[in-house]
Structure 1
Amino acid sequence: MKKYFYSNGQEKEGPVTLGELKQKDIQPKTLIWHEGLDDWKEADSVEELRELFELSPPPLDTEDDTLNATDTKDFKPEKQTVTESSHTVRKQGMFSNPFSFDGRIRRTEYGISLIIYVVVAAFVNVIVESGEAPIIGLAYIPMLWFLWAQGAKRCHDLGNNGWWQIIPFYGLWMIFQNGQPGINEYGRNPKG
């Protein structure tokens, strides 16, 4: 497990895990170091910490848009750093980035992806085997990229690295298992 050190420029603290680091009051310019980095980097330039500075919470969903007394007794707002790159996180639709390996997708999108792959692969097989247009076989390259990208994102939704999809029969698990609730190290829950 990767251990992180952080510093405000005066003293260093750590080692801590990624989860512990996210609980600390780090700012975009807090210096971070972990094994594999040549030198200290600012927190907003460390890939696994970027989401802390880019995400902003959705608006509160209350009937009169104000918190009542029962809501406020346990309410503790989190510190939020506003940067130029801050933006409101919008819910993404299905297949918004089908060839990207970043993020998370739901079971439904993964299942539809498998169906699309099988139908297109069957169509390409018929054309290639007929010998009329063997060059169409190159269509397998983007098809496999699409399938692997969607599989990696589904693995991320389960809290696992994308390489887990090469485990035999793990694809069945990805179809039936619920994703992790809330935010994990790969992003927000796609169920919103």
Structure 2
Amino acid sequence: MKNKKFYFAKGGNKFGPKTLEELKTQELCCDTLIWHDGMVNWTEIKDIPELYNILKINKLPPPLPKNEGKVTKTEVSGELNVLLEKKSNKIF
């Protein structure tokens, strides 16, 4: 793996070839797509254990918990204007 040349995708662009040492200087996340000669498809770094363990990867936080319909805190800032339309009670 040390002598391989790697490509990575970031912001819809492809970068490379890069050495393993050069990859270490890049800001990569666990979901960054990587490819090198011998791979069939682009693969996320987290699915390439040897790279994931070598590189200092910015790990993504876990997903937020699902909202179960409870509101624990609500904040309103700014000005709230409410206009009410009055209806006439006239009978014709």
- TM-score, structure 1 as length reference: 0.28
Cα distance change of structure 1 residues 27 and 38 upon mapping to structure 2, 3 Å threshold: same
- Structure 1 counterpart of 2:59, which letter? T
Question: 1:81 is matched with which residue?
Answer: 59
Larger radius of gyration: 2
For the aligned residue pairs, the C-alpha RMSD in angstroms reads 1.8
Q: Which has the higher helix share?
A: 1
Equivalence for 2:27: 25
Higher share in strand: 2
Match of 1:45 in 2: 47
For 1:157-187, what per-residue CA distance to the aligned partner results, in whole angstroms no more than 9, with x for missing partners? xxxxxxxxxxxxxxxxxxxxxxxxxxxxxxx
Tell me which of the two structures has the higher relative contact order, counting C-alpha pairs closer than 8 angstroms and 6 or more residues apart: 2
- Aligned structure 1 segments of 4 or more residues deviating by more than 4 angstroms: none
Contact 1:9–1:31 at 8 Å: present in 2 too?
no
Deviations 1:80-115 (A, max 9, x none): 43555xxxxxxxxxxxxxxxxxxxxxxxxxxxxxxx
- 2:86 aligns with none
Q: Which structure 1 segments of 5+ residues have no match?
A: 54-79, 85-192
Give the TM-score, by structure 2 length.
0.55
Aligned length: 58
Match of 1:12 in 2: 14
* Equivalent residue number for residue 92 of structure 1: none
Distance 2:59 2:26 in 1: 13
Q: Is the 8 A contact 1:22 1:49 kept in 2?
A: no
Percent identity, please. 36
Equivalent of 2:4, from 2, 13, 19? 2
